[in-house]
Structure 1
Amino acid sequence: MKKFSMWFVAAAFLCTCAPHLLWAQSMEMTSAKLYIQQNDWDKAIQWLQEALKKKPENAEAHFLLAQGYGMRGKLADMVAEFAAVQQYDKKNKYTKDLASYRQKYFAESFNTGVKAFNEQNFDMAADKFATAAMLDPSQAASFQNLAISYRQIERDLSTDVPCEGCAAEHEWDAVAVLCRDKATGAATKFCCCPEAKEQLEAAIVKTHETLIKMQPDSLTNYLALSDYYKMKNQMEKSTTLLAEANQKFPNNAKVLGEMAIAYDYMGKSEEAFQTYEQALANKPDDKDLRFNYGRLFLLRAEAAGKKEPLDHAAVAVAYGSAIEQFSKVLAAEPEDFDSNYNIGVSHLKIGEDFDKQIRELDE
């Protein structure tokens, strides 16, 4: 009887002085942890969700639920739980663990994306790089590879190759920019969703714009988006972006050269000439700039040759200027076939125009 009484007193003391030791953990949390010990994450997730219904500020429940979602490949849900942990973990108990899990899944997604890209599985590559970007938005490489993957997919969608291996029903996930199997939610081929073709352009532009914001001092990012605009024949957008780049990187020959090309495509020949001259003043030995400048003189000569009445002097001057520019290219690279060819054509055209002048005089 004495032993029982002492035990009862001790129990009463425990309940009075430290009740949290007995009742701090809910039945839902206890059940979840038991299932975690048994590696039954599906049931553990169910109990953790129930625990959070009763106590949404439970940082431990959010952390364990994040683990469960990670184990089940639901990485977007995992990231959402990471955010909840950071919100409620006032003592930063889980900070190191969160960083460790984030890095683990980031590395897995990124490396899988690289492997898929090298195997030309661009659909999977885009999915994995997008996931990597979500897991660690500070890593520019994820966005760079994502933009390239999107552009490869867009190129493939522009062909008439039939889309094979699509399940019965698919749905377009506009938020994630993915085509999903409607039954399982798994990412599948972009070509299985007709919306992909029209929505990829916006995703590509957004990804390039994100890179520009992340790395404002990187000229490469400006040029990449400008190149995409040119490819889509959106020259006004291209020149606007290049003008912005020119303010940030004044007198950069590459920027000026790209601007000149865009002006050329837009039919703004005078702006193109001025921009090439500015670019060559900063980089006179650039063979590509010099070649494109010479090609512009060829176009000017052809246009002059079509005018009525024919301005023979303008034709001769334009072809002569073209020869001058292509000759400078050959001085640096004597075997350049296109420059040699264009010089030959220019001499031929000058001769033809001279013959026209003789015939006009005879008449």
Structure 2
Amino acid sequence: MKRTATFLLLIVITATFMFTGFQCGTAEMTSAKLYIQRSEWENAKIQLQKEIAKHPENAEAWYLLGQVFHEQKSYKEMVDAFNSSLKINNQFKKEIDNYKLSVWANNLNKGVDHYNKAIQMLQTSPDSADTHFNTALDYLNIAVAAQPDSATNYRVLALCYYGMRDMDNAIVFLKKTLDKQFDVQLGRMLGGIYYDRAIVAKNNAATVEGDEKKKILEIANKNLNETIKILEATSKVTPEDPNVLAALNDAYIAAGRTEEALNSYKVAIKTDPTNKLAHYNYGVLLLRAGNHAEAASQFDETVNLDTNFTDAIYNAAAAYMQWGAKMREQAEAAIQNDKTKQIDKAFEEKFRKAKTYLDKLVELTPNDISAWETLGMANAILNIPKEAKAAYDKADSLRKTK
């Protein structure tokens, strides 16, 4: 009886080893490996798919199937097969990582190459550029499948879509890139897309009324808020970048966030005192706010930096004219109830300063009717009737020739 039990146990153990051996070396696996040695990739794939259908937990079968897909350049399927192997165990992780890295580098480089060719042809041959852009996208999508955590993949994808003027997809991949690795250039690019959309919406809103206008303005404001959010983040990374500051200031102004714009221009001027546009735009905001003294100071600095900047010259004259008018009004009010007092003529200094700028302006823009009329007004206030008449006459003659 004891011998019988021992014999039966041996039979069970033998059967177990036979079964285990069958699993590790099935006919499908044996055939697949043979086909792989012969580079008969399609036949190998068929055998491996049969094996996986029977034994879906066979990590080696999935790994070998990934190899076959690699040889067939079916890279998406390769990645899926490799990932299935890794879900079971890490037996082939090192080999799989090497395959993925090779596929990623190869396809990323090809994608970048086609992107560069597209950019070179964008102006001279748009159709050829589109072909290269689309080819680049094909390669880059494979690179993403092989290394989904690489920020470089998404960066080049974003640039491709931007070059193709597909801004919806550009936004998607710009955001993905910035989430993984912040990039000042891409931050400016994303902010620029939102800003352009906001301005288009604002222009469209100006042509309609009622609920439609309200709806379009909501779209504009939403895009401006996105612009400001991304540019503020970009500015924190590079607080002294004049281009970022200028873009952020434009967004603040468009959004009606004047106080933030004023503070931002202060930073821009402190960062680069020679930035004439920062001085000029800061002056424009101050003039709108009725701060004539500070506005005039900013325009003075702008003209010092660029003596032929006609817009700055015009606004400098406007600032001094408005400042002078306000001072004259205050001076007249001060003597209104006491006729024995002499009027304080300090305001004349501001009008003389305005006249200096206006004389320069009509030299640079001799056909500017508004400049001649304002010069005539300044001369009249300063009691220079002959020059006032000459300026008004010039404005009239220009108006008649229009």
Taking structure 1 as the reference length, the TM-score comes to 0.65
**Corresponding residue of 2:180:** 214
**Corresponding residue of 2:48:** 48
**Corresponding residue of 1:274:** 263
1:326-341 matched pairs, under 5 angstroms: 326-327=303-304, 329-330=305-306, 340-341=309-310
Match of 2:135 among 99, 124, 142: 124
How far is the alpha carbon of 1:253 from its aligned partner?
5.1
1:178-197 matched pairs, under 5 angstroms: none
Distance in 2 between residues matched to 1:253 and 1:112, nearest whole Å: 33
1:305-324 matched pairs, under 5 angstroms: 314=292, 318=295, 321-324=298-301
How far is the alpha carbon of 1:260 from its aligned partner?
0.8
How far is the alpha carbon of 1:64 from its aligned partner?
1.2
Larger-Rg structure: 2
1:150-229 matched pairs, under 5 angstroms: 150-154=161-165, 200-216=166-182, 218-229=183-194
Distance in 2 between residues matched to 1:326 and 1:211, nearest whole Å: 41
Report Cα offsets for 1:297-344 as digits up to 9, x if no partner: 35876x79xxxxxx9x95x974663242242x45xxx9xxxx645455
SS for the counterpart of 1:232 is helix
1:291 maps to 2:277: yes
- The CA RMSD over aligned residues, in Å, is 3.6
The amino acid that maps onto 1:353 is T
How far is the alpha carbon of 1:63 from its aligned partner?
0.7
Distance in 2 between residues matched to 1:280 and 1:130, nearest whole Å: 44
Distance in 1 between residues matched to 2:23 and 2:273, nearest whole Å: 79
How far is the alpha carbon of 1:135 from its aligned partner?
1.2
Is the Cα–Cα contact under 8 Å of residues 110 and 132 in structure 1 kept in the other structure? Answer: yes
Taking structure 2 as the reference length, the TM-score comes to 0.60
1:230 maps to 2:195: yes
Q: 1:250 to 1:147 in 2, by over 3 A?
A: closer
Structure 2 unpaired stretches of 5+: 1-10, 119-131, 199-222, 316-356, 362-369, 389-402
How far is the alpha carbon of 1:350 from its aligned partner?
6.9
Distance in 2 between residues matched to 1:344 and 1:139, nearest whole Å: 51
Is the Cα–Cα contact under 8 Å of residues 297 and 318 in structure 1 kept in the other structure? Answer: yes
**Corresponding residue of 2:62:** 62
Is the Cα–Cα contact under 8 Å of residues 15 and 22 in structure 1 kept in the other structure? Answer: no
Match of 2:155 among 140, 144, 160: 144
Is the Cα–Cα contact under 8 Å of residues 286 and 294 in structure 2 kept in the other structure? Answer: no
The amino acid that maps onto 2:298 is S
**Corresponding residue of 1:107:** 105
Distance in 1 between residues matched to 2:371 and 2:154, nearest whole Å: 51
The amino acid that maps onto 1:325 is T
How far is the alpha carbon of 1:137 from its aligned partner?
2.6
How many residues align? The count is: 283
**Corresponding residue of 2:250:** 261
Report Cα offsets for 1:13-48 as digits up to 9, x if no partner: x96695244563222222322322332222222221
Distance in 1 between residues matched to 2:106 and 2:238, nearest whole Å: 41
**Corresponding residue of 1:187:** none
The amino acid that maps onto 1:278 is V
Q: 1:133 to 1:24 in 2, by over 3 A?
A: closer
Distance in 2 between residues matched to 1:215 and 1:145, nearest whole Å: 13
**Corresponding residue of 2:231:** 242
Report Cα offsets for 1:67-123 as digits up to 9, x if no partner: 22222232222111221111112xx33122111111111111011112211221111
The amino acid that maps onto 1:101 is Y
Distance in 2 between residues matched to 1:107 and 1:250, nearest whole Å: 30
Bigger proportion of residues as helix: 2
The amino acid that maps onto 1:291 is L
Identity %: 23
Distance in 2 between residues matched to 1:266 and 1:326, nearest whole Å: 28
The amino acid that maps onto 2:272 is P
Is the Cα–Cα contact under 8 Å of residues 268 and 278 in structure 2 kept in the other structure? Answer: no
How far is the alpha carbon of 1:231 from its aligned partner?
3.2
Structure 1 unpaired stretches of 5+: 1-11, 155-199, 305-310
Q: 1:32 to 1:205 in 2, by over 3 A?
A: same
Is the Cα–Cα contact under 8 Å of residues 280 and 312 in structure 2 kept in the other structure? Answer: no
Report Cα offsets for 1:264-313 as digits up to 9, x if no partner: 333544532332113323x13463xx414314535876x79xxxxxx9x9
**Corresponding residue of 2:353:** none
Is the Cα–Cα contact under 8 Å of residues 294 and 323 in structure 1 kept in the other structure? Answer: no
